[in-house]
Amino acid sequence: MSTDTPGIDPLEALRAPRDPACDVFLTGPVFLDIIFTGLDSAPVRGTESWARGMGSSPGGVANMATALARLGLHTSLAAAFGDDHYGEYCWDALEQGEGIDLSMSHTVPGWHSPVTVSMAYEGERTMVSHGHEAPAPAPGAGTGSRAGAAGTGSRAGATGTGTSTGAVAPVFPQCPPRARAAIASLAPGRSEPWVATAARDGALVFGDVGWDETGRWDLDALPDLAHCEAFLPNAEEAMRYTRTDCPRAAAHALAERVPLAVVTLGADGAYAVDGRTGTAAAVPAIEVEALDPTGAGDVFVAGFVTGTLADWPLADRLAFAGLTAALSVQEFGGSLSAPGWAEIAAWWQLIRTCDRQDPAALERYAFLDDLLPATARAWPLRRAVPTIGFRQ
């Protein structure tokens, strides 16, 4: 992440002394992502393929956590980290590089980091992953440090909660921090107790979802949906869950179950319905030359969460989410490609100077004028090198 990113706080005008210190809380597995780009075609069995580009970065839930942090939100992540160099790299990249709060996270001694190898070609990607489920932290185990057994000399630390009392905090996920928002990954037949706790404590819960491997596509099988402020499936998922043949019809059907239904439409943009007011909004996608689509969906969610917490109009939230996702696919790496305010400002400065721009299309992003600094760095931008092993 660049060090000269403008320090924009999208929630500055809304912050009050009694507000929670955490803007967004999320949890999930952190992967080490190794991404190959510049492949002309899919690898062929029995042959060796050479990629023109390669990078490494924290992946999995780290994609969304990084995207949130780069947009100026105080982000807290609860995750297990491997007790290996990959885990050390991911921890340092998130905590030191991105300023993400890892006080709810912990390192598992003897457990290796999950790894994903992603190959980007023809505007799509193919992934191979390997990993084992992390064992649950032992009762009373410390959090917030890359901790093994104290005194072993291997990234060890004393247990503690970061409070002045020195008392050991309840082990996550039973006790998430108080936050403005939380992002939950919904899965059929699974209920996470922390989701209800977060909602009860005042957090707006944003529900993400993946492909239903059971094939049932039953909304009633997503018990945590009842706690969600917003549900953000893609078009195919939305239509299957609602038994509709149109993404917009699916969004309206979902808005009967959650206050906000947001359906991503790929190259056609996004469509959202506010179930409380009946307001609907549609925003077309921004055409870009995609290098690597890894993490674009996570970046979209982060942009939408940012706009929602900042209380922007629904159409502005959709436009901003789509813009951040579009900027992310122009770089490789799911987390390191997430744009910050410097990237957004540079894009906005550039796009207004391009010939043959549709004035109506530019007007869709006019709300950025009130957010961005008057001057921005030139485009294209120099980005961080996503490689393990280089030292400062």
DSSP codes joined into one string, 273-314:
EETTT--EEEEPPPP---S--TTHHHHHHHHHHHHHHTT--H
Quick one: average pLDDT of 49-58?
87
pLDDT digits (tens, 9 = 90+) for 107-142: 999 999 999 998 877 767 788 999 998 887 766 554
pLDDT at 363: 87
pLDDT at 55: 81
pLDDT above 60 (res 61): yes
Dist. CA 369–CA 348, nearest whole Å: 9
Q: Is the peptide bond before 386 cis (omega within 30 degrees of 0)?
A: no
pLDDT digits (tens, 9 = 90+) for 265-297: 988 999 999 999 999 999 998 877 766 667 789
DSSP letters, 150-162, are TTSSSS------S
φ/ψ (deg, to 5) at 371: -110, -30
For the chain, how are helix, strand and coil distributed in percent, rounded to 5?
30, 20, 50
pLDDT at 64: 95
Quick one: average pLDDT of 225-230?
98
pLDDT above 80 (res 51): yes
pLDDT at 112: 92
pLDDT at 138: 65
Query: Residues with Cβ < 8 Å from 81, sequence gap 6 or more?
Result: 30, 87, 88, 90, 91, 105, 106, 107, 108, 113, 146
CA-only gyration radius of the chain, Å: 21
| CA neighbor of 28 nearest in space, from 257, 229, 186 | 186
pLDDT above 90 (res 254): yes
Task: Give 26's strand partners.
Answer: 77, 183
Amino acid at 212: D
